[in-house]
Amino acid sequence: MKAARALLGIDQRELARLSGVSLPTIQRMEASEGVVRAVVHSLDKVVKAINQAGVELISAGQRSEGVGRGVRLIERS
């Protein structure tokens, strides 16, 4: 989420506004280690807002169907 916000040039407050999720919820999600801990409905709203703003979130092992440049974090053992 932090990387998506950085690409969009928005802060947590703006992501909360775009997604309709509270600022404390965004803060909690971003403070999660590893997998984001959140209510599925809230996480879905945030993901949709990020996508609508122009950033594609790519899950581990998932191919990107989008066009353009991108980045992916490499997991190290």
All domains in the chain, ordered by first residue: 1-77 (1.10.260.40)
- In this prediction, residue 62 has a pLDDT band, given cuts at 50, 70 and 90, of confident
Measured CA to CA, the distance from residue 75 to residue 77 in angstroms comes to: 7
Q: Which H, E and C letters describe 9-59, residue by residue?
A: CCCHHHHHHHHCCCHHHHHHHHHCCCCCCCCHHHHHHHHHHHHHHCCCCCC
pTM of the shown model: 0.80
Query: Residue 5's closest CA among 44, 57, 40, 43?
Result: 57
Which residue has tokens 């996480």? Answer: 43
29-39: pLDDT as tens digits: 998 877 777 78
**Confidence category of residue 59, pLDDT binned at 50, 70, 90:** confident
Task: Give the pLDDT confidence score for residue 67 in this predicted structure.
Answer: 73
Mean pLDDT (whole number) for 42-66: 86
